Amino acid sequence: MNNDTLNVIELFAGVGGFRVGLERANRNLFKVGWANQWEPSKKAQEAFECYTRNFQDGEHVNKDIATVPDEEFQRLTADLIVGGFPCQDYSVARSLSGEKGIQGKKGVLFWQIERVIEKTQPKYVLLENVDRLLKSPSKQRGRDFGVMLGTFRNLGYTVEWRVINAAEYGFAQRRRRVFIFAYKNGVAFDLEQQELEPKEIVFKQGFFAKPFPVKENPYKNRENDGEIAVDRVEISDNFSLEFHNGGIMRNGEIYTAHVEPVEMAATPLKNILIPENEVEERYYLTPEDEKKFEYLRGPKKIPRTSADGHTYTFSEGGMSPTDDLDKPGRTMLTSEGTKNRSTHIIDVDGRKRFLTPIECERLNGFSDNWTAGMTDRMRYFCMGNALVVGLIEIMGKRIEEIESINSSQEEIQIELPV
């Protein structure tokens, strides 16, 4: 086993979900040396403050990443870059002089990820995003992810992706996210994977398939292949391929398939609750609250008029008045804790209440009181933005396994006669 450390850069760090998962996988292997967290348009940088409270070592940077100069990244050593980033518009246009593409809006954060990769050349990149990224934008489905894959190909990386619902692999939240793992062409793992067909990688031997097993064949034979153009403007203008929930891009060649998880028993919501005698009265619903949630979660048909005068009926189906304690929790949103249809409402011993901030931390696998020190509203918001850290722990162990391939390859090379 490789005993060296992997130097990690954590981008869009939030309250540190990637770091928590990696350190649980192997604290000695993963060393986060540089982390960036910046919440635009906010005076109080509470997620950053939470991060610095919980992690003492490493360099913590609280500024807009677009303002961090190239020189700062060039001085860093990076083996692994991790981060969850917003789903934005990735349309690409050519400049008036016909030179390098201008990447849509200035604030698109994926271009910052590209810049950091360019300047640091890590072996691995692990990213997380909402699963709709694969079908974005609605008018040209798959274009945005195609542009991303083209970017990685041009940087010299192979990419695997998988949409993972945490509850399907034993966790307490039905949180579905796309995870993207890129590895530099020529590293030991890449040389090993080159021996395999794309389908075998996606279904059996790849980065995701081993720790998150799937059934042997594509669901309803849904699989596609395609190719990525070298020119990102061409990808942006003409890309057309349906991406499924699993896939690989290698040397511009794409294979994607609808994979079905080999499910594990999920953790029920009741398993993450704190004892009722520790729940403060303010988390219980008043009679007025109960009435409001009865309306919010009930079926409705509401006549509405659009800005241009068009009249239509807004329809919404009903949902259970409370969340089932014997099932995993629904996806937690940043609006958790407000009087909102998506907020979890549970009934314990005949009394209805919200989840407490600690219970929301547990839904994502953080330690109790990880976000203590913020207002409740911000604690809920941060957990709605966070990821399920247990998934990252599993991926961290998979990276550790890949590193053992590097070690054995190095040993073989050392033993070869000159």
Other Cβ atoms within 10 Å of 17 Cβ, number? 26
Cα–Cα dist 342/338, whole Å: 9
CB of 165 closer than 8 Å to CB of 173:
no
Handedness of CA 150, 252, 153, 37 (dihedral sign): positive
Catalytic residue from among 50, 87, 360, 382: 87
Residue type, 200: E
Q: Label the pairing between strands 351-354 and 300-305.
A: unpaired
87 included as an active-site residue: yes
Based on the number of CB atoms within 10 Å of its own CB, is 94 exposed (0-12), middle (13-18) or buried (19 or more)?
middle
Q: Are 83 and 12 in contact (CB under 8 A)?
A: yes
Degrees, nearest 5: CA angle 342-347-350: 150
Task: Mention every residue, 6+ apart, whose C-beta is less than 8 A from residue 397.
Answer: 25, 26, 211
- Cα 279 from chain centroid? 31
3-class SS at 254? strand
Which residue shows structure tokens 């303002």?
Answer: 67
Residues known to be catalytic:
87
